[in-house]
Amino acid sequence: MSNIGVSELILILVVVALVAIPFKLVPYWFIIRKAGFHPALSLLMIVPVASLIMLFFLAFADWPSLTKATQSTD
């Protein structure tokens, strides 16, 4: 059994993070776009504190796509 050094461990963590980022960003990209906001806001989901703020924003903001849908039916 070989010992893994710190640099190898950091490299492994960076690779895992780079592989995991698209799996987090792609669903948020579609959700934010369907909500009527610019999909680039999903990039904020990479930043830990910004992702929490973004979730609350999405939960409590008036979605442009819903306001457009209700205005067109009136």
**pLDDT tens, residue by residue, 37-69:** 999 999 999 888 999 999 999 999 998 888 776
Burial of residue 63 (CB within 10 Å: 0-12, 13-18, 19+) is middle
Query: pTM of the predicted model, to two decimals?
Result: 0.72
Q: What is the pLDDT of residue 73?
A: 66
Inter-CA distances, 63 with 8, 43, 58, Å: 45, 18, 8
Q: Which residue has the higher pLDDT, 26 or 73?
A: 26
